[in-house]
Amino acid sequence: MRRKKILILPTLRDRNRDMSKKWYVEVSQRNPQTAEMVRCRFETFDNININSLQTLAERYSFAEKIINDLSQKIKNGWTVFNDTTRVIYEDQTQYAHEARVYRKKVESNRNYVYWCSRYIVEILRMQQLRKGTLITYESRYRVFKNWLIDKSMAHLDIVAITNDVIVQFFTYLRDELKHTAHTFDSYAGLLSSLFDFIIKEKGIVNNPVHNLPVNRHTTDNGAEALHKEDLNLIMKVMDDADPQLALACRFEYYCGLRPGIEVRLMKVGDLNLRHGVSRVKISSEHCKTTHRKDVIIPDIFLDYLINVWHLDKVDKNFFLFGRNRVPGILHLGKNTLRDRFNRIRDKLGLPNIYKFYSMKHTGAVTLAEQGETLINIRDHLGHSSVQTTEIYLKRHGFNDSAIIRKNFPKI
C-alpha cells in the first residue's frame, strides 16, 4: 500500500540564486484535521530576515541556521499547527529506519496512531514478547494504520472508528489481501485487545471489533484439534511404537506447551514433580513471551511422569527429549518429533489437518468442553488476554453454549 507523507523536512528555496526574489525555508506537514499537506514558509531567525542579507554567502549561512532550528524543533515534537486541544506523541508504529533518521513526532487528535502507540509502549512491550512476535503484532497494527491513511481517516478521533469502519477493513483483508481465516482471527484479536485498552482509558465506550465479515479462506492449513476417537487411536499407537513422542504430545495436551521450543528444549530440572505443587518452569528464552512460564502439571500426568518415565530419578541436567529417544545431554533436532508424528498419522490414515501442534489445541478445547473458565485457560496457555483465548478456542473448534446444549426450550 502506498504510504502518504506526513512531513517534508525544512528545505531552502533560493529562487535559483536570484537575490531579487524572496528566499525562504519551506516545511510541509499534513494537517491532522483535513489530511492535506500544508506548506509553511520561514524567513526569519532571531528577528533577522534572510532577505535583508546582501550576499549569497550570508543568505546560505543564515538559511542553515533556520533549517537547523526548525529541524531541532521537529525532533522535539513541534508542528506548524498550534492547537492546545491536540497532543504530541511519538509514533511507535513507524518503521524502524524512520525512527533512526529522526525521532518523528506526529501532531493529531487522539486518533488511532496515538492510542496504538500508547498500547504498544504501555502494554505490549511490558509483556516482553519475543522479538519476532512483537514485530508481527506491530506490523499488523501498521497495516490498519496505513489503511486508515489511505481512506483519509487516520487524523480522525478514535471515536470515529466505528464498527462500520472495522467491517470495511476486514473486508479489505479478505477480498483484496486474500488473508486466510487464521490471519483474519489474528487481526481481530489484536485490534480487539487494543480497543479494550482504549475503553479502559476512557477513550471510547464500546469495542467496535464485532460482527466481522465471514472469511472462509483456509489455505493456511493450520493445525486443528483432534476428535476424541482419533486422539485415542493415535495415542495408543504412539504409546506402543514411540513412547518419547507420546510423552511430548502429553506435554502439549496437559500443559499447553508449544512443541517447537518449550517442549523440545525442556530439561528434567524444569519439572517440579512433588504432588500438590507440581509445575513445569519454562525459561524466558524459550517462551513466546520473554516472561518465564510456570505451568501446572495435572495429577494424572504427574503420575505418568513418575510411574512410567521415572523422571524423579533422572539427572536434572539432561534434556528431557534427548537423542536415542531417552533423556540425555543432547536434545533432538528442530523437526524430529514433528516428522515422527506425521509418519504415524499418515500410517493410520488420519487427515493432515492433524499436526504435531494439534495436541496443544486438543488439550485447550477439551478443558473448555469440561467447563473450565476462560481466565484459567488463558493463564494455562500463557495468553495475554481472555479475548485472545476466546478467538483461539473458536478457531480450534470450541463454540459451545451449555444453555443451548442442555436447556433449549421444548416445543
Q: What is the spatial distance between Cα 321 and Cα 138, in angstroms, rounded to a whole number?
A: 34
* Contact criterion met (CB below 8 Å) for 321 and 282: no
Per-residue pLDDT tens for 258-271?
Answer: 887 889 999 999 99
Q: Is 74 exposed, middle or buried (0-12, 13-18, 19+ CB in 10 A)?
A: buried
> For the chain, what's the residue count?
411
- Work out the angle at residue 244's Cα, subtended by the Cα atoms of residues 324 and 292, and round it to the nearest 5 degrees: 105
Helix residue ranges, H only, 42-104: 56-75, 96-101
Q: Would residue 88 count as lying in a domain?
A: no
Q: Residue 125's pLDDT band (boundaries 50, 70, 90)?
A: confident
One domain, residues 309 and 191: no
* Contact criterion met (CB below 8 Å) for 217 and 181: yes
Q: Is the pLDDT of residue 387 over 70?
A: yes
Q: What is the CATH number of the domain that holds 346?
A: 1.10.443.10
The DSSP call for residue 122 is I
Q: Is 312 in a helix, a strand, or coil? A: helix
CA neighbours closer than 13 Å in the CB half-sphere of residue 78: 13
One domain, residues 67 and 139: no
Q: Residue 277's pLDDT band (boundaries 50, 70, 90)?
A: low
Per-residue pLDDT tens for 8-54?
Answer: 889 999 999 999 999 999 988 876 556 677 888 889 888 899 999 99
The cell numbers describing 142, all together, are: 501498521
Per-residue pLDDT tens for 309-324?
Answer: 999 999 999 999 999 9
Q: Would residue 365 count as lying in a domain?
A: yes
Q: Is the pLDDT of residue 170 over 50?
A: yes
Q: What is the spatial distance between Cα 291 and Cα 226, in angstroms, rounded to a whole number?
A: 29
CB proximity list for 377: less than 8 A, separation 6 or greater? 364, 367, 368, 389, 393
Per the structure, the count of domains in the chain is 3
The average confidence (pLDDT) of the chain is 83
Place of cell 533422572: 314
pLDDT of residue 198: 93
The DSSP call for residue 266 is -
Q: Residue 386's pLDDT band (boundaries 50, 70, 90)?
A: confident
One domain, residues 62 and 163: no
Q: Is the pLDDT of residue 1 over 50?
A: no
Residue range of the domain that includes 48 = 7-82
One domain, residues 185 and 239: no
One domain, residues 191 and 240: no
pLDDT of residue 166: 95
Q: Is the pLDDT of residue 77 over 70?
A: no
Q: What is the spatial distance between Cα 280 and Cα 296, in angstroms, rounded to a whole number?
A: 6
Give the count of beta carbons closer than 10 Å to the beta carbon of residue 117: 19
Question: Which residues on adjacent β-strands are paired with residue 279?
Answer: 272, 296
Q: Which residue, 366, 396, 348, 362, is CA-closest to 234?
A: 348
Give the count of beta carbons closer than 10 Å to the beta carbon of residue 13: 14
- Which of 200, 218, 252 is at the close of a domain? 200
Q: Would residue 268 count as lying in a domain?
A: yes
In order, the DSSP letters of 204-247 are -SS----SPPP----TT----PPPHHHHHHHHHHHHHH-HHHHH
Q: Would residue 96 count as lying in a domain?
A: no
Q: Is the pLDDT of residue 86 over 70?
A: no
Q: Is 379 in a helix, a strand, or coil? A: helix
Average pLDDT estimate for 175-192: 89
The gap from C-alpha 333 to its chain's centroid, in whole angstroms, comes to 27
Q: Is the pLDDT of residue 147 over 90?
A: yes
Per-residue pLDDT tens for 294-309?
Answer: 888 999 999 999 999 9
pLDDT of residue 130: 73
Q: Is the pLDDT of residue 102 over 50?
A: no
